[in-house]
Amino acid sequence: MATKHRKIKIGVFDSGVGGLSIANYIEKHLPNVDVRFVNDTKNVPYGDKPIDLVYSFVLPIIKKLEKDGCQVIVLACNTVTTNLIDDLRKVIKVPLVGLEPMVKSAAQQTQSKIVAICATPATLASKRYVWLVDSFAKDVSILEPDCSNWSRMIESSEINHKFIKKQIKEVCDAGADVIVLGCTHYHWIEEEIKIAAEGRALVLQPEQSVARRLTTVIDGLKIS
């Protein structure tokens, strides 16, 4: 087991402050890990930018984490994972653990068969997201509220609380009983979203599942 080895160096990358919630969760819940969090404050947010441009931002940062000795790298960004993880795996030798919208879990837990996916435009437009919906939520109605400004608001600490509350109320009024947070930026307003949902919807985000996946990957590393 990885817990018997020396500390494992884990890289956690996101465009902005969102991935810090993932880094903090990993550091708190996984023993014997040394977490290095890196973000791209110069180019955040990614969700409204061309994917080729995002790739040019991400690749040198991930290569630097690998060069600095990170034995596993977490892509704590749904936009990067859903659009670029396959391309990155072709050039990065260490394991990459990604985040993507929890469509499967939402489809399994909804009673109303209506789910709201809160994500960036780039994530919603990705082939991976389309595959997730086609594979796991064919019998579920998917609502996609306009969250295009959420990351920017959170990054700048200028959150329009009334606007977010209105959007959450609208999807709940439309019957959604599960709300998926498909961007790590949104983790910072998770409690606000839960309050706005007024107990009518379960709010899902992937911190626990990412930690479980990371544990499996670490346990598979051959490190003495």
Q: What domains can you pick out in the chain, each with its CATH number?
A: 2-99+207-219 (3.40.50.1860), 103-204 (3.40.50.1860)
Catalytic residue of the set 77, 118, 147, 172: 77
Rounded to the nearest integer, the mean pLDDT of the chain is 94
**Whether pLDDT at 39 is above 60:** yes
Choosing from 70, 118, 172, 183, which is the catalytic residue? 183
Per-residue pLDDT, 2: 42
Give the count of beta carbons closer than 10 Å to the beta carbon of residue 69.
11
Residue 184 pLDDT greater than 60, yes or no:
yes
Give yes or no for residue 50 having a pLDDT over 80: yes
Bridge partners of residue 12, in order along the sequence: 37, 74
Q: Which amino acid is present at 145?
A: P
- How confident is residue 97, by pLDDT bands cut at 50, 70 and 90? very high
The tokens describing 8, both together, are 């494992």
Q: Is 183 a catalytic residue?
A: yes
pLDDT digits (tens, 9 = 90+) for 61-73: 999 999 999 999 9
| The residue to which tokens 């997201």 are assigned | 129
**H/E run at residue 98:** strand 96-98
Percent above pLDDT 70 for the chain? 96
Rg (CA), the chain: 17
Query: Does the pLDDT of residue 4 top 60, yes or no?
Result: no
Residue 161 to residue 158: CA distance in whole angstroms: 9
Residue 210, SS3 per DSSP: helix
pLDDT on residue 1:
39
Per-residue pLDDT, averaged over 98-126, amounts to 97
The set of residues, in sequence order, having a beta carbon less than 8 Å from that of 19 and lying 6+ positions away, is: 12, 13, 37, 39, 74, 76, 77, 184
Burial class (CB in 10 A: 0-12, 13-18, 19+), 178: buried
Specify whether 118 is catalytic: no
Q: Is the pTM of the predicted complex or chain greater than 0.85?
A: yes
**Rounded CA separation 185/17 (Å):** 7
Q: Residue 146: what pLDDT? A: 95
Q: Is 98 left (phi over 0), alpha (psi -120 to 50) or beta?
A: beta
- More confident call, 142 vs 5: 142
Report which secondary-structure segment, H or E, holds 122. helix 121-124
